[in-house]
């Protein structure tokens, strides 16, 4: 069974490609390279450069590679930018998904795995978030992921396509230096960027209703994210209990932004006190996962701790600078 991985040259996507290809799953990548790097991909994995907004392009790729399953990761993902540019996010994340699903249905694709986000929960009313927690996104980015889940599930039910929506929590770390996160959208690389410049790391608000006033998040190693994709993709392909799946991917453990910055400073040797600035629009106070459903259904459990995430990311950053 050949899997199409959209956004496969990106940070998370390249780890999913690595996990699936090393497990013997045939994969082909679609990426417009706006945020991806083809050097992240194994040499034997085909790369088709193009956008999921281009139906003619998708029809050709699906046909020529005899694609039977899709892992859809291609998306815009910066919460703050989505507040400033909501139409861009709806076009890329919602319209792009609609075009892809339409092409998938026409090509007879049998399995569809959607990259969603914990942002669909907004600020949840409970300490630990389960897949049954009500969806209440706070940003246009979160809204596009919520709408995407609706579209994927509705299409799957109507067309008999096995689907799964994976709600990522906060992703960090790298499996190897070549696959490192080169963007500055996630907390760890954002802090690295500031420290390398001799500047204090920024804390966006310290007046949240949390123990130290800073946002609390569930951080998950990108290699664990990739392995979860492999497990869920194989469940979809097997047809066993596969139809309309929703899973959180997290560790079930909250860490505050201030705690993360302290640990980053310890690992990197940069002892620069953080600077508190204004809250970012759309940031919820606390989001921590329950990943019990994925553990029960597929036996999956995160295997990396926060220290491993930061240490691997820091090693990759030093390697990139020679």
Q: What is the mean pLDDT of residues 53-75?
A: 98
pLDDT, tens digit, for every residue of 131-159? 999 999 989 999 999 999 999 999 999 99
Q: Are 137 and 97 in contact (CB under 8 A)?
A: no
Between residues 319 and 205, which one has the greater pLDDT?
205
Residues 6+ apart with CB under 8 A from 52: 6, 30, 58, 72, 74, 96, 97, 99, 100
Portion of the chain with pLDDT greater than 70, in percent: 99
Band of pLDDT at residue 272, cut at 50, 70 and 90: confident
According to the model, what pLDDT value does residue 153 have?
96
Catalytic one of 11, 121, 141, 168: 141
Question: CATH 3.40.50.720 in the chain, residues?
Answer: 2-171+220-249
Residue among 115, 104, 103, 185 nearest 145 (CA): 115
Q: Is 219 a catalytic residue?
A: no
C-alpha angle 184-185-189 in degrees, rounded to nearest 5? 45
Inter-residue contact 219 to 308 (CB < 8 Å)? no
Q: E strands of 197-287, at which residues?
A: 202-204, 216-221, 244-249, 254-256, 275-277, 286-287
105-121 tens-digit pLDDT? 999 999 999 999 999 99
Of residues 129 and 184, more confidence is placed in 129
Q: What percent of the chain stands above pLDDT 90?
A: 83
Q: Quick one: pLDDT band at residue 241, thresholds 50, 70, 90? A: low
**In the prediction, which pLDDT does 96 show?**
98
Decide: helix, strand or coil at residue 71: strand
Q: Tell me the C-alpha distance between 152 and 92, whole Å.
A: 15
Domain 172-217+252-320 in CATH: superfamily? Answer: UDP-galactose 4-epimerase, domain 1 (3.90.25.10)
- Higher pLDDT: 190 or 58? It is 58
- Pick 2-171+220-249's CATH classification: 3.40.50.720, 3.40.50.2300, 3.90.420.10, 3.30.420.40: 3.40.50.720
CA distances from 121 to 151, 256, 289 (A): 17, 18, 10
Dmax of the chain from CA atoms?
56
Length of the chain: 322
What pLDDT score was predicted for residue 80?
85
In this prediction, residues 249-269 reach a mean pLDDT of 93
Angle among Cα 177, 178, 179 to the nearest 5 degrees reads: 90
The predicted model gives 30-58 an average pLDDT of: 96
**Mean pLDDT across 159-169:** 95
Instruction: Give the pLDDT band of residue 66 (cuts 50, 70, 90).
Output: very high
Residue ranges matching CATH 3.90.25.10 in the chain: 172-217+252-320
Per-chain mean pLDDT for the chain: 93
Average pLDDT over residues 203-210: 94
Please tell me the predicted confidence (pLDDT) of residue 242. Answer: 64
Res 2 pLDDT > 80:
yes
pLDDT for 6 beyond 80: yes
Beta strand pairing status for 286-287 and 216-221? parallel
Token readout for 114 is 């959607």
Q: What is the pLDDT of residues 7-20, one digit of tens each?
A: 999 999 999 999 99
pTM for this predicted structure:
0.92
């Amino acid at each position: 069974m050949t899997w199409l991985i959209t956004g496969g040259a990106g940070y998370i996507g390249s780890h999913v490609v690595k996990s699936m290809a090393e497990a013997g799953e045939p994969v082909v990548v679609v990426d417009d390279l706006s945020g991806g790097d083809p050097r992240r991909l194994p040499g034997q994995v085909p790369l088709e450069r193009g956008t999921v907004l281009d139906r003619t392009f998708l029809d050709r790729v699906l046909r020529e590679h005899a694609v039977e399953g899709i892992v859809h990761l291609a998306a815009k993902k910066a919460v703050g930018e989505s507040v400033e540019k909501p139409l861009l996010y709806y076009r890329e994340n919602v319209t792009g998904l609609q075009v892809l699903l339409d092409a998938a249905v026409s090509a007879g694709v049998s399995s569809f795995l959607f990259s969603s986000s914990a942002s669909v929960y907004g600020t949840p009313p409970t300490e630990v978030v389960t897949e049954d927690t009500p969806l209440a996104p706070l940003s246009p980015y979160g809204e596009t992921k919520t709408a995407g889940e609706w579209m994927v599930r509705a299409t799957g039910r109507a067309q008999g396509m096995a689907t799964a929506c994976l709600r990522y929590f906060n992703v960090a770390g790298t499996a190897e230096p070549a696959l490192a996160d080169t963007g500055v959208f996630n907390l760890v690389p954002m802090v690295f960027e500031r420290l390398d410049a001799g500047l204090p790391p920024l804390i966006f608000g310290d007046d949240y209703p949390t123990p130290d006033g800073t946002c609390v998040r569930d951080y998950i190693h990108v290699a664990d994210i990739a392995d979860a994709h492999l497990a869920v993709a194989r469940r979809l392909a097997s047809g066993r209990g596969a139809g309309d799946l929703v899973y959180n991917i997290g560790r079930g453990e909250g860490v505050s932004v201030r705690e993360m910055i302290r640990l980053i400073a310890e690992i990197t040797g940069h002892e620069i006190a953080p600077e508190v600035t204004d809250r970012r629009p759309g940031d919820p106070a606390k989001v921590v996962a329950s990943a019990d459903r994925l553990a029960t259904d597929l036996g999956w459990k995160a295997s990396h701790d926060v220290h491993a995430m930061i240490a691997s990311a820091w090693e990759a950053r030093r390697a990139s600078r020679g």
